[in-house]
């Protein structure tokens, strides 16, 4: 009769974060987890915008004032970075699923590329907003 473990295994574990040397592939892995929380928040903000829109002009104006405040815009910019980073990271994972990109040099290069893409694409998007006169 076998038992299926329901909790942390009572056997040697891999090293904990505190004694592991930081490197870029683990940083992007953690950042990917963080991006999930950012995207979650972004979707709740989207649903909130829709509810405010349906509730009428007053609620809509209040929502715009909160999200359009400097802090709100900073949060939105952070979410934009995380959306683009998440996109790049998922492309990277798709190649992993096919068995490619596991060489250390390749994995490190694609990790940096995902971060660079996230930041560059977000800056390009917001620069586009400013140039269109939306902000």
Partner 1 sequence: MADQRFRTPRSVAAGLGSAHHGVHHFLVERVSALALVPLVIWGGFAAAGLIGAGHAAAVEWIAHPINSVLLGALLICGLIHAKNAMQVVIEDYIHRFVTKAALLLLNLTVCILAGALGVFAILKAALTGGF
Tell me which residues touch partner 1 (CB under 8 A).
2-11, 33, 36-37, 39-40, 43-44, 46-47, 50-51, 53-57, 60-61, 64, 83, 87, 90, 94, 97, 125, 128-129, 132, 134-135
* Residue appearing with tokens 């949060």: 75
Alpha helices in 8-103 (DSSP H): 24-55, 57-67, 70-97
The smaller minimum CB distance to partner 1, of residues 35 and 115, is found at: 35
> What minimum distance in Å lies between the beta carbon of 54 and partner 1?
4
Specify the residue, 108 or 113, whose C-beta has the smaller distance to partner 1: 113
CB neighbourhood size of 18 (10 A): 5
Contacts of residue 83, defined as CB under 8 A and 6 or more positions apart, other chains included, come to 35, 38, 39, 42, 122
CB of 71 to partner 1, least distance (A): 17
């Amino acid at each position: 009769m076998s038992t299926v473990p329901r909790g942390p295994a009572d056997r040697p574990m891999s090293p904990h974060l505190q004694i592991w040397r930081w490197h870029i592939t683990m940083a992007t892995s953690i950042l990917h987890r963080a991006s999930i929380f950012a995207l979650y928040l972004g979707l709740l903000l989207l649903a909130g915008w829709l509810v405010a829109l349906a509730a009428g002009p007053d609620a809509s104006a209040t929502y715009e004032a909160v999200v359009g405040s400097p802090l709100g815009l900073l949060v939105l910019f952070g979410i934009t970075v995380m959306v683009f980073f998440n996109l790049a990271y998922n492309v990277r994972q798709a190649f992993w699923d096919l068995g490619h990109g596991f060489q250390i040099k390749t994995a490190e290069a694609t990790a940096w590329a995902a971060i660079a893409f996230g930041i560059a694409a977000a800056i390009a998007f917001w620069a586009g907003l400013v140039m269109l006169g939306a902000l």
